[in-house]
Every structure is written in C-alpha cells, then in structure tokens.
Amino acid sequence: MYDVIIIGGGPAGASAAIYTARGNLKTLVIDKAPGTGALALTHKIANYPGVEGELSGKELLDKMRRQAESFGAEFIQTTISAVDVEDEEKAVFTAHGTFEAKAVIVATGAKGRNRMLPGEEELLGRGVSTCATCDGAFYEGKHVAVIGDTEEALEEAHALTKFTDKITFLVPRADLQGVEGTPELPNTEIKFRTRPLEIIGNSSVEGLRLRTAEGNEEVLSVDGVFVFLSGSKPGTDFLDGQVPLDDEGFMILDEFMQSSVPGVFGAGEVRKTPVKQAVVAAADGAIAAMAVDRYINKRSKVVPQYK
C-alpha cells in the first residue's frame, strides 16, 4: 500500500514525486515509456528556470527523476490496463501486477495525433517542434513553416514572429478554427487550403513538401517546421468513466488539481492548460502533490514546503 501512485513520469509526474516523497509520503511513479514523452523528445531547452545553458529534454527529465528518487520515490516502467479509484483505497492494474494507494495523481500528458507527417517523428527535436515558446529562439533570423488549423496555431505563429525572419503558415482548411477573418502577422505568409505532405531532411529539417490550394505539389525550403495540427488528446482513456472528464477528455479539476472523486488528482496536460510548457506541468505537479498531502493527512489547508 502506497500513500500515492503517480501515473506518468513526465515533468508533472516527476515534480509531484519530488514533493510527495520529500513530504514523507510513500510514492510510486508508474511510467510506461520514460523516453517518449513530449519533454523527453525535446532536443534543446534553454528557458527552464534555474537551469543555465542548454540541455536536452531527456537530460532535464533525468535530473527531475533522480531528485525524486533521492527523496525515496520509486519508479517503475509498465503498462496500465485499468484503475479502480471509486473506493477509498485506489487500485492500479498493470502488466506487473496490482498496486494500491490512498491517492492517485494522473499525469499522463497528451497523446499525439493518430497520423504524423512522413519525416515528422524522425526529425522531431532536429528542426521539427511543437512548441514555439520553447524553441523559437533557436530560429533567430531563419525561415520556418508553421502547420496548423486552430487559434492555438495562430498564437504559436505570433510567438515565432519575435525571432524568425520569415514564416510560411500552412492551413490545411479554408480557415482557422476559432478565428474570424484572415489574421495579419509580421513577416508571415498565410496559405489556406495548403496541405503538408512530407517533412524533408536527413540530420535536420531541409524542407517541406506540400500540395497547394490549386492541387500542385511544391517543395518549400525552410530551416524548421512547427506543427500545431488539431488532434492532440489527453491520455485519460484508462479512467473509464470513473472520473469526470470534459467533452475533449480533459480532467475537470479545481484550483488544487483535485477532481470531484476524493483522492484523485490530475496535473499537466490532462487538464486544459492555457499554455503547454514543462514549467507549467511541473508547477501543476507540485500543487497536486501538496493537495495530496492535505488529503492524506486530513489537513484543513495545503501546507507549502519551504525547506
């Protein structure tokens, strides 16, 4: 019997584990694929608070996990088949057996789209990115392509205008979902009804093959490709109706990351966050961890950790 089981070992889950383990709560982190999360696949990070210079997402994540382990958190790699969180004692069923805890934090992040562009996965972190705020500074004075069909894609393109020399914004649809009219961005050419076909490059991005609105195929020479196509879905399917979710599958949480089911919390991209950043997910994990401490120890309020 653990005090808390954290499902997911990304920045939200690892941060939560640091706080729960340091708070003397017996902590288990279950992560099915430690090297394949969004942070682990990020090639360069230069804006994480307190970390000077550049490092890879995997290096940052390894630091978080080692810190959690230094406080006593246990990490295991296995696949979850189901959970039972409706009773006071929560059960998590995995390929390595059943684990029980007094509380559960769901930090499974968001799944990618069902179909990626050819070349997208191979060049992820080597010219392909899904975060303008994270990687925009690496494209100072360069030409990049933005692929997207939502208001989120527009916001990301706007963030890139601070750094890049030119942006070619490819919108597969006739319009941007949630956006009225045709937006104007500096140094940006927006191409509607333009479909990306393949990201080209060997060790790094060299170009983008696309089909124009007229039906012609062209190759666009670019230094980077930022992909913000709709389809990212929170990894909450395994909750199987036991915890309230919104229409898109995001957990419905209060300000302390607690669901309406006692003892069940969420953190990171399983909730509808305004921005997707490792530091935001880590902050969610810290809040959820301190809320778990309050829940397990039956405190009237959350007690921050200062030392």
State the catalytic residues: 131, 134-135
User: Can you give the length of the chain in residues?
Assistant: 307
Fill in the amino acid letter for 235.
Answer: G
Tell me if 269 sits within 8 A of 130, measured CB to CB: no
DSSP character string of 78-137: --EEEEE-SSSSEEEEETTEEEEEEEEEE---EE--SSPPTTTTTTBTTTEES-HHHHGG
Provide the CA 192 distance to its chain's centre, in angstroms. Answer: 27
Tell me if 210 sits within 8 A of 192, measured CB to CB: no
User: Using alpha carbons only, what angle is made at residue 65 by residues 3 and 86, rounded to the nearest 5 degrees?
Assistant: 30
